[in-house]
Chain A
Amino acid sequence: MNEKLTEKTFEEALARLEEIIGALENGELNLEESLKLFEEGIALARHCNAKLDEAQGKVELLLGVEKGAAVTAPFTPEEE
């Protein structure tokens, strides 16, 4: 499950998490199924949180493209 989880986009993970909560709310599952879903849900929530922290908040200005890769410089917009 974990292997597949890391491939999930944030949206997919969030959607699956919502689905799991829906299924648990429905309450028609047996204990074993519920436990499995619960564990998956917790893993998904962790995955989502990790995704939230993934980017670094960099701001760059594109100078050009070389061999398909962006050449950039740090960018700070001018103040008014």
Chain B
Amino acid sequence: MPEILTVTQVTIYLKQLIETDQLLQKVWVRGEISNFKLHSSGHMYFTLKDQTSCLRAVMFRRENQWLKFQPYDGLEVVAAGRIAVYPKNGEYQLYVELMEAAGLGSLYLAFEQLKSRLAQEGLFAPERKKPIPVLPRKIGVITSPTGAAVRDIIRILHRRHPRVDILVIPAQVQGETAPASLVKALQIAGSLKELDLVIIARGGGSAEELWAFNDEAVARAVAACPHPVISGVGHETDFTITDLVADLRAPTPSGAAELSVPEITALANRIKLYTDNLYALFTRLCARKRAELERLVCRPVLRQPERWIAVRRQQVDEGKEELIRRMKLLLEDKRKLLRKEMARLDALSPLAVMKRGYSICLRESDGQVVKESGAVTPGEDLRILLSRGKLRAKVEAVLEDVMG
């Protein structure tokens, strides 16, 4: 009697078998997407099929958020992941971790690899970007000399700035030799000192047609160009390595032309505006200074000097009065002092003694005070000063010097 297994046992057996297989745990599968469903949870459910077989597949939200494209029925893809069994449905399926669009896939991978390498080198760093001149005089245009791109660029450049000089530097923009041709053109452009700006451009095309602009040598030549470089490759949605290295990326060749030169009328207007501003500002400043001057002139002292003088005159008058008053006081003081001194003097004067009856005898001939009888001789004239009045006298005799 053979051993009877439950469904679960079989399923678990298969699950273990499949999920321990080396090959099936990291497998790359190429196929066409069908029955694609994006669940509201964000997970993707679909079937990969080819002519004879199909394989259920799921790509969870965690993985599919990194997808660079939106999968759709009929798209050929290469999906990487592991095969596992889903016991509930008894189904094996591919749990997709990575998915690339086939065909474009390898190129795409190459693109991503180059991009991350150059990014690591710092080739896309904003601080490397050269500023675009406001008013370039001469612009080098690297593109095919035939075709719509060069025509559009020239038309737009001259519409915006009729006097800008344009040098078309011819280059192959698609095919095997395009990268080398673009590199050479970039080197030539870099060597021409008269250029102020370089446009590198190509009209729209398939990814393969634009591929030269994802070439590493081209990218490095753009980075090495001493002039600022504006890229305009393909359409709005095309992003190339050249775009990333360029100092400025325009979405299209026409866009590159738009970004290269200013609308000259706008610029001329701006300068006109600045000039007007200058005049207006300066006029206003002069007016303000004049007003300041007017205000000064209007000050009373300048407008009605007589008033100012009247005030000053009053001050002078007041000063004068004060001076007189003080002078009087001073004189009064001095006078008092004088009286006092005179009284003192009076007390010391011989006149006061003479009032008491003394007199002074002078010799008439020489005015000498006669202090002793021997100083005169008889017959000599004397003058006698009394308290009141004077006498003239003559010596009759000189008596002995005896008191009494």
* Contact between B148 and A45, CB atoms less than 8 A apart: no
Residues of A within 8 A of B137 (CB): 54-55
Are A75 and B274 interface neighbours, CB within 8 A?
no
CB-CB contacts below 8 Å: B248-288 with A = 264, 267-268, 271, 274-275, 277-278, 281-282, 285-286, 288
Residues in chain B near residue A17, CB distance under 8 A: 271, 274
Across the interface, name the chain B residue whose C-beta is closest to A61: B168
Residues 137-171 of B, flagged 1 when their CB comes within 8 A of A and 0 if not, give 11000000110101100100010011111111110
**Interface members, chain B 156-188 (any A CB < 8 Å):** 158, 161-170, 188
Among B154, B169, B188, B271, contact of A49 (Cβ-Cβ < 8 Å): B271
Q: How large is the interface on B (under 10, 10 to 19, 20 to 34, 35 or more residues)?
A: 35 or more
- Pairwise interchain contact B163-A53, C-beta atoms closer than 8 A: yes
Contact check, B165 vs A62: say whether CB atoms are below 8 A apart: no
Tell yes or no: B134 within 8 A of A by CB. yes
Chain B residues with Cβ below 8 Å from A62 are: 167-170, 188
Contacts of B169 in A (CB 8 A): 62
**Contact residues in B for A25 (Cβ distance below 8 Å):** 281
Residues of A within 8 A of B167 (CB): 60-62, 70, 72
Least Cβ–Cβ distance between A39 and chain B, in angstroms:
9
Q: Which residues of A contact B289 (CB under 8 A)?
A: 31
Inter-chain contact B168/A60, CB cutoff 8 Å: yes
Q: Within residues 31 to 54 of chain A, which ones have a CB less than 8 A from any CB in chain B?
A: 31, 34-35, 38, 41-42, 45, 48-49, 51-54
**Residue on B with the closest CB to A12?**
B134
Q: Which residues of chain B are near A59, meaning CB under 8 Å?
A: 154, 158, 165-166, 168
Contacts of A80 in B (CB 8 A): 148, 151
Render A1-20 as a binary contact track against B, CB cut-off 8 A, 1 for contact.
00000000111001001101
Please, how many angstroms separate the alpha-carbon atoms of A55 and B138 in the complex? Answer: 8
Instruction: Give chain A residues whose Cβ lies under 8 Å from the Cβ of B134.
Output: 10-11, 14
CB distance from B247 to the nearest CB of A (A): 15
Residues of A within 8 A of B205 (CB): none
Q: Which residues in A have their C-beta under 8 angstroms from that of B305?
A: none
8 Å CB contacts to A: which residues of B91-130?
none
Contact A75 B168 (CB under 8 A): yes
User: Which residues of chain B are within 8 angstroms of A55 by Cβ–Cβ distance?
Assistant: 137-138, 161, 163-165
